[in-house]
Amino acid sequence: MHGIIKPQPSQNSTDGTDWSSDALGWARRNRWFLFIVLLPTLLVALYYYVVAADQYQSEAHFVVRTGDNSPTPSSGLSQFLGMAGGTSQSRSDAMSVNDFLNSQQAVDIVNKRLNLVERFRRSEADLATRLWFAEPTPEMLLRYYRDHVDVNFEESGITSLKVRSFRPADSYAIINELLKLGEERVNMINRRSQADSLATARRQIGEAETALIDIQGRLTAFRQNRGDLDPEGSGKAQIGLVSSLEGQLTAARAQLGAMQGIISPNSPQYVATAARVRALEGQVAGQRGRLTSGGGAIAARLGSYQELQIRQEFAAKRYEVAAARLEKARDEATKQQLYITRVVDPNMPVKSEYPKRSRVVLTMFLSLLIAYGIGWLLVAGVREHSL
């Protein structure tokens, strides 16, 4: 008799049962690995690959330089850009512009011109990365702006400006507006710096001009009051007249002395010569009195006139110096003017570069894996010591 043959289970059914049993067994043994490493990584991957919105970045490079082209560059690139490479002044100028582009004031201006809130709340944006509120506070908008706008000053003196948004056109419009705003800020700094540097020079030349006009008015009034256009020339003429009279007096006295003992004092010739001597003596005394005696004397008038002349020369020199300082201040202001030179113009993005999905998911997985490994080692050590 043939023995009874028991039916054998199919091979496929056995393999399926063994596979599911092995999988369940592995899951039970490694449930902490699943919950700590795999499940969070899968959730992050699901968000970034399915939910997260694409973000498009536009980038531009610019440099802030001055009009002074003194040959002190530290590198060939700096020399090409007209910068005094490595100088603290150039760095300070660039940092001032960069700080402004990263400020609340810049955000407010760009928001008024381009409506940043609307651009950061596009329909394409996901809930996690979009600007949550339609009317955010200035501080909230500034924080969001700084997360999507990067202003970075490099050691070469070049500033890189990067803008990310949910549409290529938005990124391109925002970055161009920021560059325009930077140029406006530089122009304002130039105007303020020039006004400050020229204010003192203009005040000095104004004071010198006022002093010069005043002393010239006093000289004119002096001539009018004295009725003499050239007091100095009149004084020289008076001195010449006195000298001539004294010469004549000396000659007349000599002639009179020669007559004494030869001609009788009563003779007409002697009497005429003596009278001439007396007349000349009176004229010399009178003309000398005009030169030196009284407040209206020529010497006093000439002294006052020469004093005014000295003051006029001093005022004229002062005016010349002030005018030279003003011209120098203008030259210095021109040399110190700031300019923004675009090294790389903004690009219109075509492909989204953010978020970095693969990098974020891989970083998440490795971080959780390391954390899990450290935790596993700690737990294993505790168990080993407890046995």
Hey, where are the domains in the chain? Answer: 56-200+335-344, 212-333
Instruction: Return the closest-CA partner of residue 301 out of 239, 243, 242, 223.
Output: 223
- pLDDT tens digits, the chain, 387 residues: what are they? 343 334 444 444 445 556 777 667 776 777 787 888 888 889 888 888 887 788 999 999 998 877 665 544 444 444 444 444 445 566 777 788 889 999 999 999 999 999 999 999 988 888 888 888 889 999 999 999 999 999 998 877 888 999 999 999 999 999 999 999 998 888 888 787 777 777 777 788 888 888 888 877 777 776 666 655 555 555 566 566 667 767 776 777 777 677 776 777 777 777 777 777 777 777 766 666 555 555 445 555 666 666 777 777 887 888 888 787 777 777 766 666 777 888 889 999 888 888 887 888 898 889 888 988 888 888 777 777 765
pLDDT of residue 225: 67
pLDDT at 232: 58
DSSP letter string, 202-252: HHHHHHHHHHHHHHHHHHHHHHHHHT-S-HHHHHHHHHHHHHHHHHHHHHH
Q: How far apart are CA 143 and CA 124, in angstroms?
A: 21
Q: What DSSP string runs through 332-357? A: HHHHT-EEEEEEE------S--BS-H
* pTM score above 0.85: no
Q: Residue 64: what pLDDT?
A: 84
CATH class label, 56-200+335-344: alpha beta
Q: What is the side-by-side strand order in the sheet with 56-66?
A: 149-153, 158-165, 56-66, 338-344
What percent of the residues of the chain are helix, what percent strand, and what percent coil, each to the nearest 5?
70, 10, 20
